Amino acid sequence: MSASSTADVPYVAKTKVGRFTNFVDERVGGSGILREFGRKVFPDHWSFMFGEVALYSFVILLLSGTFLTFFFDPSMAETHYQGSYTPLYNVEMSVAYNSSLNISFDVRGGLFMRQVHHWSALLFVASLSVHMLRVFFTGAFRKPREMNWVVGGVLLILAMAAGFTGYSLPDDLLSGNGLRIIDGVIKSIPVIGTYISFFLFGGEFPGTAIIGRLYVLHILLVPAIILLMIVIHLFMVVVHKHTQYPGPGRNDGNVVGYPLGPVYAAKAGGFFFIVFGVIALMAAAFTINPIWNYGPYDPSPVSAGTQPDWYIGFVDGALRLMPGVVNDFHFEYIVFGHTLTLNVLLPALVPAGILFTVLFTYPWIERWITKDDREHHVLDRPRNAPTRTAIGVAGFTWYCVMWAAAGSDLIATHFHVALNDVTYWLRALFFLGPILAFIVTKRVALALQRKDREIALHGRETGRIVRLPHGEFIEVHAPLDEYKRYRLVGFESLAPLPAVPNEHGVVTRSEKRRAALSKWFFEDRVAPASPAELEAAHAHGHHEAIEAGADQKSLTH
């Protein structure tokens, strides 16, 4: 079909379906979109799928959440429970808790949907977090993806906000205790804290307004912003194209993988149902947030084992770790007649503040240190960026110490140790854990790099011992095939960048700081085996040690 004929004679499909499809296509341009997106190439790796899991969990959250809104009533008016759960029969409670109980016991499929909603919420934040860890440890946040990293960070905070507002809605004892802690944290903020608390709760805690307000945030504002952020996030993924792990034939100028249509799209669609199935299975067989156990909220009782959902746990843990007094040193002061409670303010806001500040600024910190302004589409293997990996693991360890502290009472009862000892150990680990994790991780990464180098140069140990005619025993090393060797040698090993004077010939103070950090970042490095070294190793034959090349520096410690 020539160009002129298509211009002159409009295309007429032969079948009825064809004509109908053509009618739609000419008006919405579907085939163009499909041509563009269907050819979008995605590399295949299991670790690339956590973002997808988070997206699917979010879709399931929207669907199950919509079902729940049909039956949930966010009113804090008082009522007496008349439903079918007898241990709470005729107990005075809020309408919100009453309707949550009705969803659980008197709405067909209600308990299942509640559990689907809650399990998928936990999975949503969990998969989102793992996705972020993957992005961090592979260096996928580097140019041009810094902005998308920030969008991801915003999504994490929004996910936590969505989770917390939802956790509070049933108005049971557990969620009320959680709200009370939030109220305490807000009130610990100097000067404005009390005002914010009274504004948020519509008066003194708990008031009669908070559930309705949280409900609006939970079902309207927060999910809307999450959806917006997801759209921006995915749009940027399309613009930037997907990153890929290093391998033969892969570079910063291409994407090696499968096109979206048809196989990849089918796989992704099927994966949605797998995620849905896993969540449905959990919801059907494992109870989550049994609100009927906790009873209606009343500010007086507090249950043992009161914890927030896992993603707020680290803040709760930090609060638990904070000592009230250290010897005679108090953390609570009266300043101009106002109470300043540092033992609430510090643990509640500082660790989370540090964590998120570092998280949001890290791409720029690394960019400043490395002065690297190139685009990166090929990922780093975590071992090939030892300092970054060590920083990540240190942060992760810090988070986990606080996370564990949120379950300190359960650690004590289940491992038969004293609660005080658990707290003392975790307090020590709060400070020492990240340092230890940094050192250990960096050493492990360097050791793995050395192992890679060794294998690249001498091949794989076969375990086959051969005795030579003159009596010497050697182990036979099998050479690697070129594809495998590429993985071990085809990476970029950054070296410390010394301070350089600016255009006026002055080495500024910030440049000196940058140079010092660069040294700290890259002074311990294992350079990949160079072609010359590989050549030499092959010429030497099997197992003779190749001494470190000229470009391998300062591996003294």
Partner 1 sequence: MKALSQKRRHPLAAVALLLMGLLLTGGLYAIATTVNQAKAETTSFSASDAEEGKKLFEANCATCHGMGASGTKDGPSLVGVGAAAVDFQVGTGRMPMQMNGPQAQKKPQQFNEEQTRQLAAYVASLGPGPSIPEEHLLDEKGDAAAGGELFRVNCAMCHNAAAAGGALTRGKFAPALGDVTGKHIYEAMVTGPQNMPVFNDANISPEGKRDIITFLKKIEANGSPGGADLGSLGPVSEGLFVWVAGLGVIIAFTIWLTSRTS
Tokens of 254: 């291409």
CA distance 114 to 100: 9
- Smallest separation (angstroms) from partner 1 to the CB of 305: 5
Cα-Cα-Cα-Cα dihedral sign, residues 146, 364, 153, 139:
positive
166 sits near partner 1 (criterion: CB under 8 A): no
> In this structure, is the dihedral angle defined by the CA atoms of residues 46, 380, 126 and 236, taken in order, positive or negative?
negative
Spell out, one character per residue from 89 to 128, where the chain touches partner 1: x when CB under 8 A holds, - when not: xxx------------xx-----x---x---x--xx--xx-
Q: Which of 66, 67, 101 is nearest to 81 (CA)?
A: 101
User: Rule CB under 8 A: is residue 55 a binding residue for partner 1?
Assistant: no
Residue 86 in the binding site for partner 1 (CB under 8 A): yes
- Whether the bond into 144 is cis, omega within 30 of 0: yes
- Nearest approach, Cβ of residue 20 and partner 1 (Å): 34
Q: Which of 12, 17, 418, 506 binds partner 1 (CB under 8 A)?
A: 418
Q: Which residue of 166, 193, 313, 496 would you call a contact of partner 1, by CB under 8 A?
A: 313
Which one-letter amino acid corresponds to residue 212? G
Task: Single out the residue of 44, 146, 332, 454 in contact with partner 1 (rule: CB under 8 A).
Answer: 44
Contact 32, 246 (CB under 8 A): no
What is 161-219 written as a DSSP string? HHHHHHHHTT-BHHHHHHHHHHHHHHHHSTTTHHHHHHHHHTSSSSTTTHHHHHHHIII
How far apart are alpha carbons 481 and 479 in whole angstroms? Answer: 7
Choice between 65 and 313, CB closer to partner 1: 313
- Binding range to partner 1, per CB under 8 A, among 234-242, 365-373, 388-396, 415-423: 415-423
Site for partner 1 in 184-203 (CB under 8 A): none
**Cα Dmax for the chain:** 95
Please tell me whether residue 36 binds partner 1 under the rule CB under 8 A. no
417 part of the interface to partner 1, by CB under 8 A: yes
DSSP string computed for 206-256: STTTHHHHHHHIIIIIHHHHHHHHHHHHHHHHHHH---B---TT--TT---
Residues 271-290 touching partner 1, rule: CB under 8 A, are 271, 274-275, 278-279, 282-290
Say whether residue 41 binds partner 1 (CB under 8 A). Answer: no
In this complex, which beta carbon is closest to partner 1, that of residue 123 or of residue 390? Answer: 123
Q: CB nearer to partner 1: give 46 or 473.
A: 46
Of 295, 386, 392, 395, the residue at the interface with partner 1 (CB under 8 A) is 295
| Position among 407, 433, 434, 459 found at the interface with partner 1 (CB under 8 A) | 407
Shortest CB 524 distance to partner 1, Å: 31
224-263 binders of partner 1 (CB under 8 A) = 258
# chain residues binding partner 1, by CB under 8 A = 73
Instruction: Point out which span in 234-242, 359-367, 403-411, 486-494 binds partner 1 (CB under 8 A).
Output: 403-411
Report the alpha-carbon distance of residue 294 to residue 167 in Å, rounded.
Answer: 13
- Interface pick for partner 1 out of 158, 173, 185, 517 (rule CB under 8 A): 173
Q: Minimal CA–CA distance to 59: which of 237, 205, 269?
A: 269
